[in-house]
Amino acid sequence: MIGALHEPEAVMKSLITITGSRYDATVNSCYAILKRCGWTPDVVEVFHPQQAPFPEHARKAAEALSVILEDYHGHRGYKVNLHPFEETDLVSYSTAIEGIIKENFNQRIETAVDITCGRKVVSGVLLKTASVHRNKILHIFCVYVKAKAYFDRWYPLRPANSQDVMDLMTF
């Protein structure tokens, strides 16, 4: 016998996301990824600008994400981490993202980023940083909303044909 056969350990998954003027957009985007792609993160890293009202939005997003992840993970556990950043210092913001991507890679944690939410420049930096480290990233998700009529609803209560989840890594 060469070696004992072990059950393969479930791979940890980490999602890096942003929250902007609407916290529910961050939550819905994560929910869409989880439902459509079957990719359920164990850790969600939520970046948000540190000036008001974004910390409050991020706190609400974390609370709502916890409700979803608690249901999907059951006893396995999950974590939502908040990362405030200064909007005028995008280099530090990019460095912080880079740090998480590298750390996850070293610890063999699958990493995906979600660029759906946040201001253009903020999601742009996230996309750029993820692109630079694309060999350490599994997915770059973007939720494409086709009908804006359902903005006041949580993801599962929107018609399935009203939005798509795209993985830019497949392009």
Partner 1 sequence: MELTLSIAELTAVLNDLYHQGYPCFSLRYPLLDLDLATFDLDAADTVVRLTDRAEYQRRFEDLRSWFQEHDERYAIREIPDYTAYKTSLLQAGLIGYQNLDKVKTELLGTLTRNVLKGHPAAFVALDTNILRDRFFSTFVAQEAELKRKPLSFALTDIIRDELAFTYKYNERDLSGLLSHPNLTHHRHLVEQFWNQNKLKDRLQRLGHLEFIKIQSSMNFHLCGPTQGMDPAASADMRIIQSYQNFATTYRHVLLLSRDFDFIAISEGRPGIEPLMAELPRDVLPRGTIGWESLGELIYIWAVVFGCVELVAADNRVLRFFGLWKGKEPTHWNEELVGLEIDGLNLSAALRDIHICRRLGAIGGL
- Burial label for 11, CB within 10 Å (0-12, 13-18, 19+), is exposed
Note whether 125 binds partner 1 by CB under 8 A: no
Residue 17, helix vs strand vs coil: strand
- Any idea how long the chain is? 171
Contact stretch for partner 1 (CB under 8 A) within 48-56, 115-123, 127-135, 150-158: 150-158
Q: 92: Cβ–Cβ under 8 A, 6 or more apart, which residues?
A: 85, 86
Among 21, 67, 73, 86, binds partner 1 (CB under 8 A): 67
Note whether 121 binds partner 1 by CB under 8 A: no
Pick 94 or 162: Cβ nearer partner 1: 162
CB of 21 vs partner 1, minimal distance in Å: 14
Question: In the window 130-149, what residues touch partner 1 (CB under 8 A)?
Answer: 149
CB of 137 vs partner 1, minimal distance in Å: 27
Question: In the window 4-33, what residues touch partner 1 (CB under 8 A)?
Answer: 24, 27
Among 21, 53, 63, 99, binds partner 1 (CB under 8 A): 63
Residues at the interface with partner 1 (CB under 8 A): 24, 27, 35, 60, 63-64, 67-68, 71, 149-150, 152-154, 156-162
